Structure 1
Amino acid sequence: MTEQQLPPAVADALTAFLLEQRRIAPGLVSRAVVTGSAVAGDWHPGVSDIDVVFIVTRDPVDDLPALAELHAASQPHIDGVYLTESEIARGPDVVQTAPQVVEGVLVSALAGAQLSWITWRELESGVQGIVDGGDVIWSPVADRHPRTAQGIVSFSRDNLLDYWQRIGDGLEAEIADRPDDGPVRSETVRWVALGPIRLVATIETGDVLSKTAAATFAAERWPEHAELLERTVRDRAGERQEFTVRDARQALALLRSCVAVAEG
């Protein structure tokens, strides 16, 4: 995959970002690997952020204030994690915290987020950008870690049992006394319906699927939820849908089915 295969808005935003990043923190970033929806063919303006692994040559502590301002001003948000080559080689089981950007906010030592085997799996098929003079050179990249295949399955199972099971309990309590036809934010239904199914797909296939591909996977596995999944995908693509408490309850039932896979 090359720059021409990235969404044009992603390539343009990242090129400008990386050039400015080099200006304010010269010599810090040796390469930047684009991951997530931008390279999975599932990036949507106004909905998707741009996820990047920034490989650094030194501890970025002195550069973080300027970088925080740069990330906060980015539109769309350019999120990601700052790691050294040696940290990538050690893997997320060893590297417990790192500077990370979530929804435009940079945290100097954040656990979780992109510090997971999912990111390491995406590094195997990302798109790498290297600043060369006044331009950015894009090329395919394939960073491989020997424990990734086992790690992504273990991470996906644990994430369903810990994180998503708690999310399900919270949503169940939130909507318990609400009428079926009451409105629910589309972001809530999309999040609950599309997040857990990606982890099931990873457990069962060993791949990290885009949200749209995971919806197709889940609709075949649980056809009773196919209509809801189709609507969430359409909403995410910009074809806005109206969702109700009934939809949220169905998304919750799908989440519970995903957790059951992890338990089994």
Structure 2
Amino acid sequence: MKVIDEFLARADTLAPGLVEGLYLHGSIALGDYRPGVSDIDFVAVTSAPAAPDLLRRLHRSLPRRPHLDGIFVTRDDLRRDPATLPPGPAIHENRVLAATDFERNLVTWHVLAQGGVAVRGPQHPEIFTDWPALAARTRDNLESYWRPWTRRMRTHPAALTAAAVSWGVLGVARLRNTLEAGRVTAKTDAGEFAVRTYGSRWEPIVGEALRIRCGGSPRFRNPLRRRAEMLAFLTRALTH
């Protein structure tokens, strides 16, 4: 990808030898990248801590689209449980963050181990993984984030937007699919899983969520009806 080539060229000019490895994760690694919709998620492996001022200079030269979102870690960091790491530098939504927990988590580590795309560095770097811990955190996320989110959407105007439908339906379905599959799964795969698991009753709202992500003709004319179907599906999937 052109933006990745530009990123590496600029990094090598500003700080030769700093970026030892560059790996793509997220939708690219999961085979679910959608141009114009998906971000490009990366993990840059550096020979020394990346200074925020340097990252700001690097970021200023990059295109604004697609979003290039990623973190900067050392090889030793990848060998450790990310929960034990201190906050570190990242680029997120066209902003440089000096110290954040963004993407420094077991999901990122697992996706890298499953199928991270090596742009620079060893094809299969040593990466810490812990499936039982990730599964436990996934179940906790369903309860601590998605159940309250679903309650809020009953009266929140954002629930009438296409973005909320895609985020909610595919977000919960993806976590359920991940737990069932024993690996981190993609959003599109999760949509297929949802219909297969919960039945054809839910095909219209799942199809609408996939349509919002992938393109196609709307499945609902009435946003109120769409919200009702989204909330009904989420209630069903959260009770599993």
Q: What TM-score does the superposition give when structure 1 sets the normalisation length?
A: 0.80
Deviations 1:151-176 (A, max 9, x none): 2212211211112223222212315x
The answer as to 2:124 corresponding to 1:166 is no
Among residues 96, 104, 112, which one is paired with 1:123 in the alignment?
Answer: 112
- Distance in 1 between the 2:60 and 2:66 partners? 14
Match of 1:23 in 2: 13
Deviations 1:168-213 (A, max 9, x none): 22212315xx9xxxx9321111111111111111122211111110
Match of 1:105 in 2: 95
Match of 1:135 in 2: none
- Distance in 2 between the 1:114 and 1:203 partners? 19
Q: Give 1:242 shift.
A: 6.5
- Distance in 2 between the 1:79 and 1:219 partners? 31
Q: Give 1:228 shift.
A: 1.4
> Unpaired runs of 5+ in structure 1?
1-10, 131-137
Go from structure 1 to structure 2 and tell me whether the alpha carbon gap of 1:128 and 1:253 turns closer, same or farther (over 3 Å shift): same
CA contact (8 A) 1:98 1:109 kept: yes
Go from structure 1 to structure 2 and tell me whether the alpha carbon gap of 1:256 and 1:14 turns closer, same or farther (over 3 Å shift): same
CA contact (8 A) 1:117 1:155 kept: no
| Superposition misfits of 4+ residues, deviation over 4 angstroms | none
Aligned CA-pair RMSD: 2.3
- Distance in 1 between the 2:232 and 2:66 partners? 32
Match runs of 1:22-171 below 5 Å: 22-61=12-51, 62-70=53-61, 73-111=63-101, 113-124=102-113, 125-130=115-120, 140-141=123-124, 143-145=126-128, 147-171=129-153
Go from structure 1 to structure 2 and tell me whether the alpha carbon gap of 1:257 and 1:100 turns closer, same or farther (over 3 Å shift): farther
Go from structure 1 to structure 2 and tell me whether the alpha carbon gap of 1:139 and 1:210 turns closer, same or farther (over 3 Å shift): farther
Q: How many residues end up aligned between the 2 structures?
A: 235
Identity of aligned residues (%): 28
The residue type equivalent to 2:35 in the other structure is P
What secondary structure is seen at the aligned counterpart in 2 of 1:123? helix
